[in-house]
Amino acid sequence: MKIPLSKAHIPQQVYENLNQVLTSGKLSGDGTFCHTVEKKFSQILSIKHTLLTSSCTHALEMAMLLLEAKEGDEVILPSFTFTSTANAILVAGLKPVFCEIDPLTMNMDMRDVEAKVTNKTKAIIPVHYAGVACEMEKLNDICANKNIMVVEDAAHAIGAKWRGKHLGTLGDMAALSFHETKNVICGEGGALLTNNDYLAEKALIIREKGTNRSQFLRGQVDKYTWIDKGSSYILAEPLAAILDAELNIMHELNKKRESIYDFFMQELRPLAEKEIFKLPFIPADCESNYHLFHIIMRNESDKHTLIAHLRNKNIGATFHYIPLHSAPAGLKLGFKVGDLPLTEEYSQRLLRLPLYPDLSQSEMQFIIEEIYNWSKLQ
């Protein structure tokens, strides 16, 4: 038995959609499936504008360009995130300012966020870790009347909610991910979300190599030309076809994840009560999409020994992010080890277990049995 950390679920409709695309001969972006999926997302999420992109990284880059900030302006983000969040800031010529995490959720600590706001702060990027919302009410209070934009990194969060509203719709802009490891996938892909008409129109220009081609295709101009800076951020039509099929079963996929998550919580609670590790926490006002399942070990040594034990049994357990402020690129920017002690400690103790819709009951039980077998050796 070999159990990977994640595994893509490919419904039959994917093959049917791809056959339709290949038969049509329309393979580049901005095609029928692209338009269909954008409309579906806008309807499901209750968001005015959805722009599919070639990755979540590119959606974040677009968002940073849309800030229209000047070089040296600051963007606050957690250090406990993927490199794309920080790279998007740097690509736009802006300065990343890393903040501390709340160990309960591994999301950004709003007290530290508020302490790091300056007159140079142009945006704050809440990263909804594991599909659990950041403290959005506190964040909105921090940004109120300060002309600071909120750009949600909702890479983990498709289908998750905060107080009944979808994550990705709670700020000025948001980025989604449809990478192979996410809840809804197309291999590589993303989306930029916004309710702001001005930002959406500017985003269309950036996405189309700095041209007004989108206006041309809508019949608003008789020819298109170079308007502003931009790049090639459009999702290819075959990938949109895959995404369309996945989106149609998003609720079903997330419910399967929830069932697996609940099983792990129930079965691992006795070990958590013995303080072998801590289980994940979902605040009452959050509705998760159960993107991943993580536990916080007592120390880094326990994490390494449990990972080694599980991998020896062909179970794909792993660590997660290396804090960006203490990574080589972060050190070059002037940050140092010790700047964010909670981020450093808890990232060293965090361990991820396999979680994907097609994980079978026998596989789940095997994972649990091996965790208990490891615990007996401690």
| Residues acting as catalytic residues | 182
* Helix (DSSP H) and strand (DSSP E) numbers for the chain: 14, 15
Angle at which helices 250-273 and 237-247 cross, to 10°? 60
Determine phi and psi for 208, rounding to 5 degrees: -105, 50
Determine phi and psi for 321, rounding to 5 degrees: -60, 140
CA–CA distance, 347 with 342 (Å, rounded to integer): 8
Tell me the two tokens of residue 16: 């049917």
Say if CB 18 and CB 378 are below 8 A apart. no
CA–CA distance, 89 with 73 (Å, rounded to integer): 10
Say if CB 48 and CB 197 are below 8 A apart. yes
Region at 291 (left for phi over 0; alpha for psi -120 to 50; beta for the rest): alpha
CA–CA distance, 273 with 280 (Å, rounded to integer): 13
CA–CA distance, 103 with 82 (Å, rounded to integer): 17
- For the chain, the straight-line distance linking the first and the last C-alpha, in angstroms and rounded, comes to 25
Which helix (H) or strand (E) covers residue 173, if one does? strand 173-177
Which helix (H) or strand (E) covers residue 149, if one does? strand 149-154
CA–CA distance, 228 with 248 (Å, rounded to integer): 36
